[in-house]
Amino acid sequence: MQIVLIALPLVFLWYHAARMLVLAQFINIGVAFAVFVAEGDQVTRLFGLGHAAWAVPMVLFARDLYTDKWLPYRIYASVAALTIAISLVFDIRDAALWMGGDRGSTLVGVPEGHPLYR
């Protein structure tokens, strides 16, 4: 996911959707930081809220699939759109669980007693 959504957009930066994804990543980082601080320096189920910014690039990537743009870009666009769609499904689920009262950590493998464990 990190390679597809952080590194590869820089390879395809001359395409509008890739530039929008880079912008969305900055928004995501800001929202994630705000959520982390608001949640008491904890990574809770609300941490993925910033991924909502990815919805715009996802739509742009999906639209680019049906164009005559460079084939390697269209392959990347399909992988990026699918990766974002899958991530958003998990983020929506986590946000719903958070709204339902589950304030547990989304981190896997953090030992009990660690400052990030909740």
pLDDT tens sequence across 65-85: 999 999 999 999 999 999 999
pTM metric for this prediction: 0.83
CA distances from 46 to 80, 91, 98, 106 (A): 22, 8, 6, 9
The structural domain count of the chain equals 1
Asked whether residue 110 is domain-assigned, the answer is no
Asked whether residue 106 is domain-assigned, the answer is no
Cβ atoms of 13 and 19 within 8 Å: the answer is: yes
Asked whether residue 116 is domain-assigned, the answer is no
Asked whether residue 56 is domain-assigned, the answer is yes
Instruction: Write out pLDDT tens, residues 16-59.
Output: 999 999 999 999 999 999 998 998 887 888 888 999 999 999 99
Q: What's the token pair of residue 94?
A: 């986590």
Asked whether residue 19 is domain-assigned, the answer is yes
Asked whether residue 111 is domain-assigned, the answer is no
Asked whether residue 104 is domain-assigned, the answer is no
Residue 91 domain boundaries: 2-99
Asked whether residue 108 is domain-assigned, the answer is no
CA distances from 11 to 22, 24, 78 (A): 11, 16, 15
Neighbours of 107 (CB within 10 A): 14
